[in-house]
Structure 1
Amino acid sequence: MKKTLLSLLVACSTSAMAAQSYEFGVTLQGYDGSATSSVSYGGQIARHALHNSLKKVAGKGDQAQMNTYLSSTEAGRVILDPVSKDGFPVKQSKIDELSSGKDLLSSAYDGVITGWPGNPTGQELLEQLVDAAAKTKAGYDPVNGYDYVQLISKFAMGAVFYNKAVNHYLEEKLEADQHPNNEAYKPGTAYTGKEHVWDEAFGYFGAPANGLSLSAKEVVQITKQNPEVFAKADANGDGVVDLKSEMAFAHAYYAASVDASAGTNYFHTIMQAFVDGRQLISDAKGKALTDAQRTELKEYAAVIATAWQQVIAEAAFKYAGSVYADLEKIAVIEEAHGDVSKAYRNYVKHWGELKGFALALEAAGRDLGNAQAGLDRLIGFSPVLFGDAQVVALDGKGGFVQANAGPMQEYKLNMIKVQNLLAQSFALEAKLNDKTAGMSDVLEQLNAAAQSAEND
């Protein structure tokens, strides 16, 4: 896939590539206002702040507070994350400073999610996860093996940001009859229809506007609000980090994180395609895009959608490896008759991250074919629990139904199969935390365990 992405980028790079930052002037013909920039994606950044804040409160058991950041559009909501820290001041402190009247739920994927019991829509699943989290202590359900903080966060990023960008703005909204480039997006705006459509997709990716001038490691540290990279984050030198253009969120962070660890180029591939696509639109000077220009723009969109999907799959691959390692630790501790509570807690956390990212892959409205069915079956509706049980369905009252799933240690084999499936289906490049070489060892362990049980 690396070769494919590279060739697409080369093929798509026929327009001027002067822009090295996501900053573009006004091209709207007839515009007589005072604006000098045509870039606008404050609504998308508001939803990033809503997601970060929701994750912050998801483990506190307060459903009303969670709904404030999930489904409310009320004014005055405080940003809980990111907030100013010593050496890393942030410009905004309220959601309305980014954009007013925004929520997460109404923008979430409304198609069916087959990977969760009951086949809810994406919107229904987010509501269910928040409702369930409110009934637990710190968002943790040890009985069914759920870490709701992780499930809510990882799925919300896919159901809202990934879905809206690749299934909406970078697909249907690129058609000629959708927000044409020779008209204002709305009366009085300083940007054209196609400029704003592209900007909204970029906003959902969550990258700093100057991302092309940053290393992957610097992007990661900006998300972590490390004071050592404040000067890099504060691109305009005004002494504060503007969340609208200078912070790294969500999948931009995960893309950079993978790159920083594996030496891949997901972040800059996506960032370059966004910048080049926006430059193409800007070069049209407020005129309707030709069929050739829209074809080229769709090629940039394809690069973005492919690499973005890979980033999510890379994250799922990594956490499948973590689940495998957790099961190994649990086996060692059990054999020594030790306390497995901490190892089990890590197991549930990592499973929640794996499942959340796997569900996110479903939330783009794109047919994953056999890969989707395989992920659903191999990962299951919950991790395999002590007593070898696993959630298999919902009862008539919305409670979880468990059934025997076979030995917990056999679930390690599922994690190897998950990694193989992800690597092959999405042509992964990084494959962090790769456990696929351990297939024969797991089979030997399972055979030995079976023989021991027969001898008993």
Structure 2
Amino acid sequence: MNFLEGYKLKSLGTLLVVLLVAAAGCDTTSSDGEDNENEQIEVPDTYEFTRNGESTVAYPGQTDRLDMVEEMKAYISTAHQGEVISEQALLDMFENKDGNGGGHFSFTSDRDLKSKTFAPDLDNNLFEGFFADAEAASENGSAGIRAQNGVAGLLEREDSGSDILVDEKGREFTQLVEKGLMGAVFYNQIFNVYLTDERIGPNVENEELREGTNYTDKEHHFDEAYGYFDAPVDFYSDWPDARTDELRFWSKYSNGSDPLLGFNDTIMDAFIRGRTAIVNDNQTELDEQVQVLYENLELLSAATAVHYINSTLQHLNNSNQGEAFHALSEAWAFVNALKYSPQRVISTDQIDQILNSDFGENGNFWNVKSSGLNNAKATLVDLYPDLEPVQDQL
């Protein structure tokens, strides 16, 4: 080998080393959630993701809608003290008239609840019916008419001595509206909108940033699903009592069953891993985490329903009708929420059986019996076997 040939080989070797180093430099890893172009990130400990030092996570519309539901519940609750509530006011809040719920919200927003509600519920005027019935019941309550079988009005909760407003079937309006919207809006949007291929599938934009923002469409859609779960970014199992005021709606109920079923870690891990998969453009991993979310969010609703069925059984055994109807109203809403998942384990016929037979003939709580409640519980435990070992502790 002459000098020129040796020089060429040495130069080629140097070039190969440079190329290898450059290639390796394009596949870096970050543990703090930093998302830069061509960079693969590790799964962070919290739901926090950044690009160029700025957060890529935003879900203000979800926060606004959760605030709206809170204020609707507070408004209906004024009837518990004998106030007459207005059907029109509730419609204005549902539609967010004039951007402030017709003057009933403490804030302004260009979002609303109605347009995000499960379409069949809108077609059936489910919530509009609740609003009209709530006004009529509050008029009875204000006039001193007490609730009884077939008559809406105020019903005393024996443990607290306070009243609740119920319809002619004994169902509590605050639970029908608040928990109803948790299903018809929050779950509906998670299950049927944001976790679908249309929003986070392989063909959704995940390279170019949405104009005027620091996130891609795919990132934002997944964040919006997370926003409806509404957990703190560092939510975890064994959540401290000192921070329970940071929880509401689905994250609150996740925490309630967490000691027995570990929902907090399971659901948060799936959200964090799913979002990381989007950053890393790993559709297979994303699909796996979405499946975890579908299964565990449905299981969460079933577990919470069993919890309230247990509570109802206990109150009926103690002859505390008002407390029983309060708990059963919650159970009604969480069983109803199971219908919103397109991958649900339970059938619509089984949901109908629980709501309109097991919870009292024709869905009338005044007719409820322990045998029916135990049948509903058995149905749920059979369909969701993870509940079997803890069914009596929930």
Q: TM-score range by the shorter chain?
A: 0.7 to 0.9
Check 1:77–1:376 CA distance in 2 against 1; reply closer, same or farther (3 A cut).
Answer: closer
Relative to structure 1, the CA distance from residue 432 to residue 68 in structure 2 (aligned partners, 3 Å threshold; closer, same or farther) is farther
For the structure 1 residues 95 and 183, does the alpha-carbon distance in structure 2 shift closer, same or farther, using more than 3 Å as the test? farther
Match of 2:392 among 426, 434, 449: 434
Unaligned runs of 5+ in 1: 1-14, 28-34, 81-92, 112-119, 226-246, 331-342, 385-389, 393-401, 437-456
Paired residue for 1:19?
A: 44
Secondary structure, counterpart of 1:183 in structure 2: coil
Q: Partner of 1:133 in structure 2?
A: 134
Distance (Å, rounded) in 1 between the aligned partners of 2:118 and 2:344? 14
Unaligned runs of 5+ in 2: 1-39, 80-84, 139-153, 155-163
Q: Give 1:132 deviation, angstroms.
A: 1.4
The residue aligned with 2:217 is 193
Distance 1:258 1:55, change over 3 A: same
Cα distance, 1:431 vs. partner? 6.8
**Residue number in structure 1 paired with 2:315:** 326
In structure 2, what is the equivalent of residue 42 of structure 1? Answer: 60
State which of 277, 284, 296 in structure 1 corresponds to 2:285: 296
Taking structure 1 as reference, are residues 122 and 424 closer, same or farther at Cα in structure 2, changes over 3 Å only?
farther
Write the mapping of 1:29-68 to structure 2, written as runs, cut at 5 A.
36-59=54-77, 60=79, 61-68=85-92
Taking the aligned partners of 1:317 and 1:124, their CA distance within structure 2 comes to 27
With structure 1 as the length reference, what TM-score do the two structures score? 0.64
Bigger shift: residues 52-61 or 374-383: 374-383
Given the superposition, is the C-alpha separation of residues 142 and 304 from structure 1 closer, same or farther in structure 2, using an over 3 Å criterion? closer
Which letter maps to 1:174? I
Q: What's the counterpart of residue 9 of structure 1?
A: none
Q: Deviations over 1:169-192 (max 9, x none)?
A: 1123122233x101334x222110
Contact 1:146 1:382 in 2 (8 A): no
Closer/same/farther in 2, CA of residues 430 and 256 from structure 1, 3 Å limit: farther
Closer/same/farther in 2, CA of residues 349 and 362 from structure 1, 3 Å limit: same
For residue 201 of structure 2, what is the amino acid of its counterpart? E
- 1:312 corresponds to which of 292, 301, 322: 301
In the alignment, does 2:319 pair up with 1:373? no
1:360 correspondence with 2:318: no
Alignment of 1:44-443 (within 5 A): 44-59=62-77, 60=79, 61-76=85-100, 94-96=106-108, 100-111=109-120, 120-121=121-122, 124-137=125-138, 140-141=165-166, 143-172=168-197, 173-178=199-204, 180-185=205-210, 187-212=211-236, 215-218=237-240, 222-223=243-244, 225=245, 247-260=246-259, 262=260, 264-282=261-279, 284=280, 289=281, 293-330=282-319, 343-370=320-347, 372-380=348-356, 383-384=359-360, 390-391=361-362, 408=367, 411-429=369-387, 434=392
Q: What percent of counterpart residues are identical?
A: 24
AA of the residue aligned to 1:169:
Y
Larger radius of gyration between Structure 1 and Structure 2:
2
Structure 1's 46 and 432: CA in aligned 2 closer, same or farther, altered over 3 A? farther
Amino acid at match of 2:202: A
Indicate if the aligned counterparts of 2:137 and 2:165 stay in contact, CA closer than 8 A. Answer: yes
Distance 2:103 2:248 in 1: 14
Offset, 1:198:
0.8
Q: Per chain length, whose mean CA-contact separation is higher, i.e. which structure has more relative contact order (CA < 8 Å, sep 6+)?
A: 1
CA distance in 1, matches of 2:285, 2:123: 31
Q: 1:435 to 1:328 in 2, by over 3 A?
A: farther
Amino acid in the other structure paired with 2:118: Y
| Structure 1 counterpart SS, 2:362 | strand
Instruction: Indicate conservation of the 8 Å contact 1:319/1:353, yes or no.
Output: yes
TM-score by length of 2: 0.73
CA contact (8 A) 1:202 1:274 kept: yes
8 Å CA contact retained: 1:79, 1:95 = no
How far does the alpha carbon of each residue in 1:236-265 deviate from its partner, in whole angstroms, 9 at most, with x for none?
xxxxxxxxxxx32211110111114x3x31
Aligned residues: 324
The offset of 1:142, in angstroms, is 5.8
User: Which structure dedicates a bigger proportion of its chain to helix?
Assistant: 2
